[in-house]
């Protein structure tokens, strides 16, 4: 079981940095091991934070992460995540499971309709009011469940900030690490974290994140997405029905 958690963590860490959707792998594994979806949701957060810290370091080494701009868009996401996490720890476990199932099925559709991400930076006229609203709403979602948040952040960053794929991923991992630190505190205070599984998962996630951030972010994305698509369809149907 420990090996399964670790291997799942490697795949999740790789997916999360590559594009998103890693939590669609780890949440089903954790619930299959007997954790309630509420505890699995909190347990997943430590691994998410550490994986993204590893990726941030790699992106900084490549000089593609603009810290000041990343902080500007991370702040509204953090505020939103406080609200989202607070809702997640209060909602009934059965209701949360059905919500997660629906989210997984929606994410499966987004995997099929994967948009092409621009390969070069583009000039965009930035509307900071719109940017703050969008990242606040994404923060609510990320604080609530986390699964698939990368699929929301990537187009938001690319379209609203005008970044190409590598820079988009760098900003994405910074935002996710930032708001999950706050979310984790809320989950811990409400007793929704299994620390043993969390740290085993974190080791796997960090390994996967290092691999994804070191090698080309784009390489292998297509076939990986189809694997995730199959997984989220199966798990989404199971959770809903």
Q: Which residue has the higher pLDDT, 65 or 225?
A: 65
* pTM of this structure: 0.77
Confidence band for 226, pLDDT divided at 50, 70 and 90: low
Give CA–CA dist 156/141, Å, rounded: 14
pLDDT of amino acid 112:
65
Domain ranges of the chain: 2-240
pLDDT of amino acid 120:
47
63-91 per-position pLDDT tens digit: 878 888 899 999 999 999 999 988 887 87
Confidence band for 222, pLDDT divided at 50, 70 and 90: low
23-44 per-position pLDDT tens digit: 888 988 999 999 998 899 899 9
pLDDT of amino acid 117:
42
Per-position b or e across 134-153, b if 16+ CB within 10 A of its CB = bbbbbbbbbbbbbbbbbbbb
pLDDT at 207 over 60: yes
Distance between alpha carbon 145 and the CA centroid of its chain, in Å? Answer: 9
pLDDT of amino acid 75:
95
123-152 per-position pLDDT tens digit: 567 788 999 999 999 999 888 888 778 777
CB contact at 8 A, 236 and 97: no
Bin 125: left if φ > 0, else alpha if -120 < ψ < 50, else beta.
beta
pLDDT at 174 over 90: yes
84-119 per-position pLDDT tens digit: 988 887 877 677 767 777 877 776 776 666 545 444
């Amino acid at each position: 079981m420990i090996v399964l958690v670790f291997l799942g963590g490697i795949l999740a860490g790789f997916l999360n940095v590559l594009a998103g959707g890693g939590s669609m792998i780890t949440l089903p594994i954790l619930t299959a091991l007997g954790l309630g979806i509420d505890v699995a949701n909190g347990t997943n957060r430590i691994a998410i934070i550490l994986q993204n810290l590893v990726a941030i370091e790699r992106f900084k080494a490549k000089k593609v992460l603009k810290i000041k701009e990343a902080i500007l868009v991370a702040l509204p996401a953090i505020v939103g995540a406080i609200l989202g996490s607070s809702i997640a720890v209060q909602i009934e476990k059965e209701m949360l499971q059905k919500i997660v199932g629906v989210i997984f099925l929606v994410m499966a559709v987004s995997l099929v309709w994967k948009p092409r991400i621009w390969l070069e930076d583009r000039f965009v006229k930035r509307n900071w009011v719109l940017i703050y609203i969008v990242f606040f709403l994404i923060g609510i979602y990320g604080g609530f469940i986390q699964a698939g948040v990368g699929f929301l952040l990537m187009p938001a960053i690319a379209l609203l900030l005008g970044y190409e794929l590598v820079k988009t991923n760098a900003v994405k991992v910074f935002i996710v690490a930032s708001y999950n630190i706050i979310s984790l505190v809320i989950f811990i205070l409400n007793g929704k974290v299994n620390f043993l599984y969390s740290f085993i998962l974190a080791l796997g996630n960090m390994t996967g994140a290092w691999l994804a951030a070191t090698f080309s972010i784009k390489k292998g994305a297509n076939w990986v997405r189809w694997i995730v698509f199959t997984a989220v369809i199966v798990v989404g149907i199971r959770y809903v029905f």
